[in-house]
Chain A
Amino acid sequence: DIQMTQSPSSVSASVGDRVTITCRASQDISGWLAWYQQKPGKAPKLLIYGASTLPGGVPSLQSGVPSRFSGSGSGTDFTLTISSLQPEDYATYYCQQANSFPLTFGGGTKVEIK
């Protein structure tokens, strides 16, 4: 099974800060990676798929996901960046590999208010 390791497990940041979350796969998953945001009591929300694409298929267009979210990486190392943290971004973020079954999620990164 492919293990997905996220870091940090939690981060405290202020509104306006740049936040970076990393996800490392235990083996090469090419670009088959997604990022999700989850708020308490809610289902996850897809932020990024294919490592760098916002839902809607065109990275430069609004897709319900603000453009302050971006993803990068390939192979085993991936990054989710929030360019300027907003109050509504306080949540837990998960990566997920879609390279092969069993699909696996990272352990999550909680973004908290500093």
Chain B
Amino acid sequence: EAGVVQSPRYKIIEKKQPVAFWCNPISGHNTLYWYLQNLGQGPELLIRYENEEAVDDSQLPKDRFSAERLKGVDSTLKIQPAELGDSAVYLCASSLSTGTGRNEQFFGPGTRLTVL
């Protein structure tokens, strides 16, 4: 079974440029997460989707970050414009929500963003 797929794996851009990340979750997983992982830190949740609905976007900097999950499957995370401080790894994860509240999250390999 294929895991969570993310692309690109690496991205280098100049500040003030836009950038987009793409995530394809595990087939059948209705919950999708975007995390930010700074160097030497644990992942921090940016946004969580239940199917097409963003149910927790409280940590998403909405002035420059946006996300969408079309048809409840693939998702894109966009930054416009990027700032130097956005350099980090952006992780996507997915899980199968069964209503028990304890659903293992499967992470993709991440996209390493470098803003120059």
A, B assembled together: no
What residues of chain A have their CB less than 8 Å away from a CB belonging to chain B? none
What residues of chain B have their CB less than 8 Å away from a CB belonging to chain A? none
